[in-house]
Structure 1
């Protein structure tokens, strides 16, 4: 994917990652609209990064007629509890061409760096892994005082999903 702009230079200049910047903007707007956590908090950043990766790596179904609803439905499906989001992200990033050479893909570079941050940054949070796919209706209760260190994407994923539901 070639960038739409090269920072005002006639070519060969700094690549502007327009697709990634748009994905971050959409993620930021969704989280702000949901008002679930304080902007700037670690949880907010985890949610924004998780949603931005979901938006950027999505199938692009929003480019078809009725696309906005299709795209939102795709994001909801990808972020739903029980969906193998981590594997989906790895598969999409591993299948993408390696950046490098004379024309590095700035979008993909930022997506890969975001994934690295989501995996390496851990947050102290309630472990929602005890929930079954059916949730509390199955009689499974989560002890919110029982906290553990989780990769930040595990905190950002349910936050992003809830923000999408509230949209």
Structure 2
């Protein structure tokens, strides 16, 4: 699952630069799916939440280490099913992240791909965005509510990003 590439001849101590290719490619695919769907402005926090949720799905679903050679169209159904249910997705990400972290630590320490994936997951879990309350009772407000009249709640970023990513996959 963890793809790495090295460039250069290394530093004075023989260390080589490790490039997190798998994560960067997953993020690129997620960004392209969201841009194609044209659902949110790319500068919004909601867009970032969608991109990070999709990138995590793409990165963590690559169980055979083939991400750089992946054909996006052949994986759309897998990603669509993974992003279909909030709670199941959250549990799936936690399990995959725990497994990847354990594998990386047993091997040689966290790879740069995993470090970026962990940072995205942390941001998605810890960041809350103000969003319309989808559980609000319809008809509880004045007739014909405008956008400003819709009740809003603070929602974890992953709960906004996941349906956005799911919709972007459907629109692709």
TM over 0.5: yes
- Max radius of gyration: which structure? 2
How high is the TM-score relative to the length of structure 2? 0.77
Residues 59-138 of structure 1: matches in 2 within 5 Å?
A: 59-60=62-63, 68-81=72-85, 84-98=88-102, 99=104, 104-128=110-134, 130=135
Q: Relative to structure 1, is the Cα distance of residues 60 and 70 closer, same or farther in structure 2, using a 3 angstrom cutoff?
A: farther
The aligned residue for residue 164 of structure 1 is: 169
Q: CA deviation at 1:156?
A: 0.4
1:55-99 deviations in Å (ceiling 9; x for gaps): 0011458x6xxx644411011001114561111100000111345
Query: For the residues of structure 2 that align with 1:160 and 1:142, how far apart are their CA atoms?
Result: 29
Superposed, which structure 2 residues align to 1:22-33 within 5 Å?
22-33=25-36
Q: Corresponding residue for 1:40?
A: 43
CA apart distance, 1:146: 1.8
Unmatched segments (≥5 aa) in structure 1: 132-139
Residue 19 (structure 1) shift: 0.2
In the comparison of the two structures, how many residue pairs are matched? Answer: 156
User: Runs in 1 of length 4+ with deviation above 3 angstroms?
Assistant: 1-4, 67-70, 97-104, 140-144
CA RMSD of aligned residues (A): 3.0
Match of 1:162, SS? Answer: helix
Residue of structure 2 in register with 1:19 after alignment: 22
Counterpart CA distance in 2 for 1:72 and 1:39 is 21
Q: Which residue of 1 aligns with 2:53?
A: 50
**TM-score of the superposition, structure 1-length normalised?**
0.80
